[in-house]
Amino acid sequence: MKGVINKGIQELVEERFGADTWDKIRGTAGCDEPSFSPSLDYSDQVTVDLVMAGANPRDFLRNMDRIHRQVTVSIPGARPPSLRVEGLPDGGLALHYVSERKLCPVLHGLILGVGLYFEQTLAVEEVNCMRNGDAECVFEVRFP
């Protein structure tokens, strides 16, 4: 995995929760790297361990837009999607997705994969879709 992914995760955690929280996450994940070089390759397992030590499916989905922006800021010509998240009255999340590439099926699979990764079955329903002429895709996600 390119270090830019891990660097983005590190910056996100430090920005939102501080360097002490990042150090705790690194310790829980067994990661000895004090920081990551965006251009170097790191073991995929390092990234997996960092995410597992510092998130749950709800937090992961809430931060997807920020992760996309931080990861792609140093990639010339990158066109990340826009993801806006809002809470639903029943405790679920509505993910609003806009992308010129209209890769909503990929996002649907990613959401399900996040649940599998955290060993939870997430209920996902796409209530609006750009491929059907809507201005944005909206996925409603419910947690067990």
Domains of the chain: 3-54 (no CATH), 74-142 (3.90.1520.10)
User: Does position 95 have pLDDT exceeding 90, yes or no?
Assistant: yes
pTM: 0.68
What's the chain's average pLDDT? 88
Backbone torsion region of residue 142, taken as left when φ is above 0, otherwise alpha when ψ lies between -120 and 50, otherwise beta: beta
- The edge-to-edge listing of strands for the beta sheet with 137-142 is 82-87, 93-98, 137-142, 123-128
pLDDT for position 53: 77
User: Does position 51 have pLDDT exceeding 80, yes or no?
Assistant: no
CA distance 93 to 99: 19
User: Does position 13 have pLDDT exceeding 90, yes or no?
Assistant: no
**What pLDDT band is residue 104 in, cutting at 50, 70 and 90?**
very high
Backbone torsion region of residue 92, taken as left when φ is above 0, otherwise alpha when ψ lies between -120 and 50, otherwise beta: beta
pLDDT for position 11: 86
The whole-number average pLDDT for the span 68-79 is 75
Give me the percent of the chain exceeding a pLDDT of 70: 98
